[in-house]
Chains A and B, each alone.
Chain A
Amino acid sequence: MATRRPPLYEVHEDRGAGFTDFGGWEMPVEFDSIRAEHTAVREAAGIFDVSHMGEIRVEGPDAETLMQRLTTNDIASMEPGDAQYACITDEAGIIHDDTMTYRLPEGGYLFVPNAGHDEEAEQRWVDYRDEHGLDAEVTNETTDWAMFAVQGPDAVGLAADAVESVGAPLDEESDDLADLPRFTATEATIAGADCLVARTGYTGEDGVEILCDAGDAEPVWAAFDCQPCGLGSRDTLRMEQGLLLSGQDFHPEENPRTPYEAGVSFTVDLDTEFVGRDALAAQQEAGVDETFIGLTLLDRGVARHGYEITHDGKTVGEVTSGTMSPTLGEPIALGYLPTELAEDGTEVAVVIRGDEKRAAVTTPPFIDK
């Protein structure tokens, strides 16, 4: 498969970014240093190009029903402008992807699958629609959009300064973007371009995510005078917060997990009808055998994806993500453990190049916000 590139590939290259392949996209991994970018987001603000995220538009009389059936959360509760995080599960309740859905101010929905998952999501929506005779239009608009995340304690202020005028639905309440409630989105103009600005993110900091036409990407990006950040710091920031990475902390074949196992039970509304609901209702009743946990390493070493977790010399689990936390200066990791070991302070070990390194179970987030 040919590698896809974000609209601002050349702009990032000129800025000296290093690139990595992620989900079939060639994306900036680092502009200056992961540590510098990470610290900028924790202490001030940083801007990420996340145009590798997918965008699928769902419109028509049955759009709400289609979204309700294929995501785990309650779509019917959303007002225009609302943003909602949910999982996409199969009949067995296994997570195939996690996604943010926006109920668009102009009508319909836009949901954001992870990088490289857009075609599979589009197919899943089209197949379900056709099987159930629903009247909805499903359009994969991934290449039409650029998406940026501006994150950090100063991010909302920067976004409010960059926004020239706000549109629906915020304009009914305020002309100041800083009044946008969390987990909502609004139309707004930045650098003359029509944008959808959402108060959402993936770093544990306050901030916004901005969607604009791919053709407007350059002026919108340039409207933010803050640290450009790559996928490297996006990863360390989300790990400190204990946020899942699709395909790494769960994977439908390599590491099949339900929302209850993956620690995102808040995305599941069993009072709605969706694919996987019955399996999840049964699991909620029975409880989970394994649970998503955080680890803080007590010995020196860095735990990485795929490393074994042991307890009393026996393999009990596996690390799904790990790094040296730039904020804490300590190695941290995420993974799964049998529920009986998933208690704060339980001492386990991570096998790093054949040696057992002591680690303590720590419920994420690892940092105080």
Chain B
Amino acid sequence: MSFDTPDDRKYLESHEWATTDEPIRIGISDFAQDELGDVVFVELPDEGDTISHDEPFGVVESIKAVSDLYAPVSGEIVAVNDALHDQPELVNEDPYGDGWLLEINPSDESEFEELMDADEYEAQIA
């Protein structure tokens, strides 16, 4: 089975991604959504909260499991994807697009250097 791994973003080992161009958005990978199965509920922090690199910031629940979400980079949350409240399945259907989780204002650009690029992440999940 092959998974979509776009190269316009960078990845954390725990399967979250962050875009590298504005707006900086965070989400989970195609591989992660497939592993979880049907997403039924996403618990996210609020606008104005801050998240920290490699620290848990929320939870995604699928029918079969609950999984912590880790922040690829630190920053202040400037937008939360409210559509997921009623349509958590967007995470399955479009994990890199409409299924995004948070938009942030990053506080430490150097943290992007610590993330994997698409090729490295593909190697991890292969």
Report A's interface with B, CB cutoff 8 A.
16, 29-30, 33-35, 232, 235-236, 300-302, 304, 323-324, 326, 331, 353
Contact = CB atoms under 8 A, between A and B. Distances in A.
Contacts of A300: 41, 43
Query: Quick one: which of A235, A236, A302 has the most chain B CB within 10 A?
Result: A302
B61 A30 contact: no
B66 interface: yes
Contacts of B1: 16
Contacts of B6: none
A232 B61 CA distance: 14
A230 B37 CA distance: 12
18 contacts: A16-B1, A29-B64, A30-B64, A33-B37, A33-B38, A34-B63, A34-B64, A232-B37, A235-B64, A300-B43, A301-B41, A302-B40, A304-B66, A323-B63, A323-B64, A324-B41, A331-B41, A353-B43
Which 4 pairs of residues, A with B, have the shortest CB-CB distance?
A324-B40, A35-B38, A302-B61, A34-B63
B59 interface: yes
Nearest to B68: A353
Contacts of A323: 63-64
Tell me what chain A mostly uses at the interface: helix, strand, loop, or mixed: mixed
Contacts of A302: 40-41, 61, 66
Interface of B: 1, 37-38, 40-41, 43, 59, 61, 63-64, 66
A34 B41 contact: no
Given A232-B37, A302-B40, A324-B41, 10 more contacts: A16-B1, A30-B64, A34-B64, A236-B63, A301-B43, A302-B41, A302-B61, A302-B66, A323-B64, A353-B59
A319 B37 CA distance: 22
B56 to A, nearest CB: 10
Contacts of B37: 30, 33-34, 232
Contacts of B64: 29-30, 34, 232, 235, 323
B61 A34 contact: no
Nearest to B41: A302
Nearest to A300: B41
A324 B42 CA distance: 12
A323 B61 CA distance: 9
A331 B41 CA distance: 10
Contacts of A236: 63
Contacts of A232: 37, 63-64
A55 to B, nearest CB: 27
Contacts of B63: 34-35, 232, 236, 323-324, 326
Contacts of A34: 37-38, 63-64
A30 B65 CA distance: 13
Contacts of A235: 64
A301 to B, nearest CB: 7
Contacts of A331: 41
Contacts of A301: 41, 43, 61
Contacts of A30: 37, 64
Query: Quick one: which of B37, B41, B43, B59 has the most chain A CB within 10 A?
Result: B37
B125 to A, nearest CB: 14
A101 B5 CA distance: 51
Nearest to A302: B61
Contacts of A353: 43, 59
A158 to B, nearest CB: 25
A30 B1 CA distance: 15
Contacts of B61: 301-302, 324
Nearest to B59: A353
A338 to B, nearest CB: 27
A38 to B, nearest CB: 8
B64 to A, nearest CB: 5
Contacts of A324: 40-41, 61, 63
Contacts of B66: 302, 304
A150 B37 CA distance: 23
A300 B40 CA distance: 10
B87 to A, nearest CB: 12
